[in-house]
A and B are shown apart, each in its own frame.
Chain A
């Protein structure tokens, strides 16, 4: 589609919450089965989906279950029948699904989870940070983080298409900040159903339990070694898991390809599909962040540039697989990188920070990298926190002080009057 045609297209813009943008995308993706259990701040996603089903707008099975673990198990089973399957959750909901997550990945089931991010207790908190998102890092799923409601809508179609690609077959999480996006209304450009159908054709699943004659086996017991019999050769666990890792590594090309196809068809793009850049053309310093934190950084980039800093922003969109090659290429010649994490890799530092450090291991004259933790448990992330962090990082960089000591903005220990 050419640019003119996109502009001429009749606009169908609705003001909607992030949760409803996700639900609308599920409807237009024609999901066949949804199984979910309510949890704040995700609940409106599945409430809306059940409305769509009740009103006949979506022909799908909604499986009511007694917990998130059962929801995830039901999603796995439903996906294995050849259905397009989606669910949504937050925080401890995802934690309770956790047991099923590596199972879904290992069985290569193209399930999509929308994750309205929320902090993990204790103490009890229903507010936003990225603790739940990063906790799903090592189970073999693809993970996206969105920055506004339009991106939630757009990323869902891409997520299904990527997950269901025969070169991939990997379940995918589409995450967005709880409340800040999940409960905030913003304008979202909705696309015609025919165009969505054209972009996202019906799923042609690699497993289809509904046709039992074609099924060779799902989730077999494996052994430490390869088993060879007359009937054939069975891979060991190691070979299965190698295949998953290989598919994740290779999925980056598919993720870019699907993103580009969507951008060409609908006229909206998100950087290279892996990360987005803002004011980076002449920048020697980069702020690295994702989701709501990145959005807040955008509000102060001009102010920082007015101070004479050549500074830009890289917003991570694809957290897993971590786009090492592309980040390394883009960042290798930068002087300073300031990372803001909305979660702690407990016992170490911010996860984005240490992952970026690892990604740049071995480059010649590597950038100075300093990370900060902000916004845990829904604490406001203010533009001033970002500005102070950048100043602090420059100060350390000038002194050549390399440190992985955790530092924070927005932490208010001085207001705890029971402390000395």
Chain B
């Protein structure tokens, strides 16, 4: 399940979604959890530089390094992992930018094979899909009428990047949110982990 990960000394992650979905927060949690895990000597998280508006397509980024301090300040061109909060934002250009052994983490009610066919993905790519929208709606993780998927989807990430254990993600969530909200988020992260369909 983790056979791909160890090839990368530095793991670059891009989260795509829409303004207001919490892509930036998710990247921050990933970076903090990765650092907390002790498996990474340096981490970075950053938003798309510039202006963002609610509802428009946005990206957020994280870099996790196992060995060396991260001096790279350039944009991520070929991400190792792409996390898709909203599948309508995914397009061919973004899908084709993934590393040849890269991992897709997608919030969708579709099967992984659907994305392989739609974007002509390579066999060496790994695809992890779960319907996080449905999960969040069912369990009432809703803000302004919209399901919040940014933290629950991290359960899927933890499944493909095992060093980023659920335990560490949960600790960071616990620290950042009030007790009640954190509890719900953590439950959904764990349920998301179980729901994952992989290819």
Interaction A to B: yes
Residues of chain A at the chain B interface (Cβ within 8 Å): 13, 15, 41, 126-128, 148, 177, 179-180, 183-187, 292, 295-296, 298-299, 378, 380-383
B47 at interface by CB-CB < 8 Å? yes
* Chain A residues, Cβ within 8 Å of B32: 15
* Chain A residues, Cβ within 8 Å of B74: 296, 380-383
B31 pairs with A15, CB closer than 8 A: yes
B73 pairs with A183, CB closer than 8 A: no
* Chain B residues, Cβ within 8 Å of A383: 72, 74
B73 pairs with A15, CB closer than 8 A: no
Q: Out of A179, A185, A378, A382, which one reaches B45, CB within 8 Å?
A: A185
Q: Out of A183, A378, A380, A381, which one reaches B47, CB within 8 Å?
A: A183
In the complex, the chain A residue whose C-beta lies closest to that of B51 is A126
Q: How far is the CB of B180 from chain A (nearest CB, A)?
A: 22
A187 pairs with B46, CB closer than 8 A: no
A sample of 13 inter-chain contacts (CB < 8 A) reads A177-B73, A179-B49, A179-B50, A183-B49, A185-B31, A185-B46, A186-B44, A187-B35, A187-B42, A187-B43, A296-B72, A296-B73, A383-B74
The 9 closest A-B pairs by CB, nearest first: A179-B49, A184-B46, A298-B71, A185-B45, A295-B71, A292-B73, A180-B73, A15-B32, A299-B72
B28 at interface by CB-CB < 8 Å? yes
B1 at interface by CB-CB < 8 Å? no
Q: Besides A15-B28, A185-B43, 14 other CB < 8 A contacts?
A: A13-B35, A15-B45, A126-B50, A127-B49, A127-B50, A128-B49, A179-B49, A180-B49, A183-B49, A187-B43, A296-B71, A381-B74, A382-B74, A383-B72
A299 pairs with B71, CB closer than 8 A: yes
B73 pairs with A186, CB closer than 8 A: no
B143 at interface by CB-CB < 8 Å? no
Q: Out of A15, A148, A296, A378, which one reaches B49, CB within 8 Å?
A: A378
Q: How far is the CB of A90 from chain B (nearest CB, A)?
A: 13
In the complex, the chain A residue whose C-beta lies closest to that of B70 is A186
Q: Give Cα A197 to B167, complex, Å.
A: 37
State whether A185 and B49 are in contact (beta carbons under 8 Å apart), knowing that A298-B71, A383-B74 are contacts in the complex.
Answer: no
* Chain B residues, Cβ within 8 Å of A126: 50-51
B93 at interface by CB-CB < 8 Å? no
Against A, the Cβ 8 Å flags (1 = close, 0 = not) of B40-60 are 001111110111000000000
In the complex, the chain B residue whose C-beta lies closest to that of A383 is B74
Q: Give Cα A291 to B103, complex, Å.
A: 33
* Chain A residues, Cβ within 8 Å of B47: 183
Interface size class of B (residues with CB under 8 A): 20 to 34
Q: How far is the CB of B77 from chain A (nearest CB, A)?
A: 9
* Chain B residues, Cβ within 8 Å of A298: 71
* Chain B residues, Cβ within 8 Å of A127: 49-50
Identify the interface centre among B31, B35, B46, B71: most chain A CB within 10 Å of its CB: B71
In the complex, the chain A residue whose C-beta lies closest to that of B172 is A15
* Chain A residues, Cβ within 8 Å of B72: 295-296, 299, 383
Q: Out of A15, A180, A183, A378, which one reaches B35, CB within 8 Å?
A: A15
Q: Out of A13, A184, A381, which one reaches B44, CB within 8 Å?
A: A184
Q: Give Cα A295 to B74, complex, Å.
A: 10
Q: How far is the CB of B138 from chain A (nearest CB, A)?
A: 32
* Chain B residues, Cβ within 8 Å of A179: 46, 49-50
The B12-52 residues at the A interface (CB cut-off 8 A) are 28, 31-32, 35, 42-47, 49-51
* Chain A residues, Cβ within 8 Å of B43: 15, 185-187
Q: How far is the CB of A401 from chain B (nearest CB, A)?
A: 30
In the complex, the chain A residue whose C-beta lies closest to that of B61 is A184
* Chain A residues, Cβ within 8 Å of B35: 13, 15, 187
In the complex, the chain A residue whose C-beta lies closest to that of B45 is A185
B71 pairs with A183, CB closer than 8 A: no
A185 pairs with B44, CB closer than 8 A: yes
Q: Give Cα A123 to B77, complex, Å.
A: 27
Q: Give Cα A187 to B69, complex, Å.
A: 10
A183 pairs with B42, CB closer than 8 A: no
Q: Give Cα A127 to B31, complex, Å.
A: 24
State whether A183 and B75 are in contact (beta carbons under 8 Å apart), knowing that A15-B28, A15-B31, A15-B32 are contacts in the complex.
Answer: no
* Chain B residues, Cβ within 8 Å of A183: 46-47, 49
Q: Give Cα A116 to B28, complex, Å.
A: 21
Q: Give Cα A383 to B31, complex, Å.
A: 24
